[in-house]
Amino acid sequence: MAYEHPNTTGDDPLASMFTETFADDPIPGYQRLQAECPVVRSPNAGMFGEFGVTLTRYEDVRWALKHPEVFSSKDVVQIGNDFPLIPLSVDPPEHAHYRRFFDPQFSPRKMAELEPEMRKLTNEVIDSFIDRGECNFHEEYATPLPSTFFLALMGLPQADLPQFLRWRDDTIRPDASTMEEAQVIRERAGQAITAYFEQAIADRRANPDGRLLSMVVHGEVNGRPFTHAELLGACHLLLLGGLDTVTATLDCMITYLARHPERRRALCDDFSLVPNAVEELLRHQTPVMMVPRKVVQDVEIGGVQCKAGDSATLIIGAANVDPAEFDAADDVVLERDHNRHFAFGGGPHRCLGSHLARLELRVALEEFHKRIPEYDLAPGAEIHFSPGIRQAHVLPLVFPPGGTA
């Protein structure tokens, strides 16, 4: 079924999607959306424009991701950034110029070179809590591991991490009671991020160090240097991407494995399953629930007329559990092949750092389970996730002190 307006029963499945209750266990909600309203065009439902379009089915989301000339990403992300987020906020053909520079910086070969350093760092993080027999996984593992490594990759001081994390949270999940208050917090954080990178860019111009930020500052796009605005937009995006999504993904994965010990033990018995498990848990536990777009050409999707100027929300979490695409879509199948999920998006705007994220997730799961194969959620713990990007507020684990062989 597709319809032009939300139902009038007071039980709007679209509205519930932006609640913590939905984020805690999203698959039933995704299934309801696909059954009741797979394609919706409704008033006052968009971040911009009078109407908002929502897509939930795999094929519809795939089509939208592959056709940025219809579902545009241009300037749709406004999270306190003063400049367009490069390359996310630019569509083809200009988008390709930026990807030609950035893609080699995140190639599988280049990421593989980082693995020994990443495994060393991972075990140092585990050392900090393993003897206690308990940890707040979110604060003590999922946050410092990707954040510390990403700052090293960028060439940014580790001492600045607490400030970066505050900016991250103020941008992505601001502590506010209204949309207006949230926007003020985001804008304040965006201004602080801009000021920080103004200085960092100036430092790298004078003192290049071979790290990623320095390479961007001295890089070229389409035969010319990056403009100052492009540098600031790229740095803002890299910072948020590097500090948030892998953390959220680890929270989702470990919560699932703690609640399903038979799956966890399968991984511990055969670590060759880990790469498949990473893909399957990305699909099943999709951390980034949705991505925004803007309709720039009239188009019909699922029998609904979408108009140029409409905002659009692609529910990639729902697409990833669409039974029309995936057998046993609502279950985790560790041996699943041909897992064409959208956890990293798709089409031209597929996640720039997907190869880095896969490496971080694989190493994080392998090293943690090698040293702590048996763990549980702390007794009485209630795990709650933020909507939009599913990050746990706290994630207390208990395990044998020192781990087990």
Residue 159 lies in a domain: yes
Q: Which residues are catalytic?
A: 173, 244-245, 351-353
User: For 128-150, how does the pLDDT look when each residue is reduced to its tens digit (9 = 90+)?
Assistant: 999 999 999 999 999 999 988 88
Phi–psi pair at 141, nearest 5 degrees: -135, -60
CA-to-CA distance for 334 and 356, rounded, in angstroms?
Answer: 21
* Percent of the chain whose pLDDT exceeds 90: 77
User: For 69-125, how does the pLDDT look when each residue is reduced to its tens digit (9 = 90+)?
Assistant: 999 999 887 776 778 889 999 999 999 999 999 999 999 999 999 999 999 999 999
* Owner of token pair 């048996």: 374
Q: Grade residue 3 by pLDDT with cuts at 50, 70 and 90.
A: very low
The answer to whether 296 and 72 are in contact (CB under 8 A) is yes
Burial-class residue 77 by CB neighbours within 10 Å (0-12, 13-18, 19+). middle
Residue 403 lies in a domain: no
CATH of the domain at 140: 1.10.630.10
Counting the structural domains of the chain, the total is 1
Residue 68 lies in a domain: yes
Q: Grade residue 176 by pLDDT with cuts at 50, 70 and 90.
A: confident
This prediction's pTM: 0.92
Containing structural domain, residue 275: 2-398
User: For 191-232, how does the pLDDT look when each residue is reduced to its tens digit (9 = 90+)?
Assistant: 999 999 999 999 999 999 989 999 999 999 999 999 999 999
Residue 7 reports pLDDT greater than 50: no
Burial-class residue 334 by CB neighbours within 10 Å (0-12, 13-18, 19+). middle
User: In the predicted model, what is the mean pLDDT of residues 357-361?
Assistant: 96
Residue 137 lies in a domain: yes
Residue 405 lies in a domain: no
Residue-level pLDDT at 275: 96
Residue 404 lies in a domain: no
If you write DSSP's letter for every residue of 368-387 in order, what string do you get?
A: HHHH----EEPTT----B-S
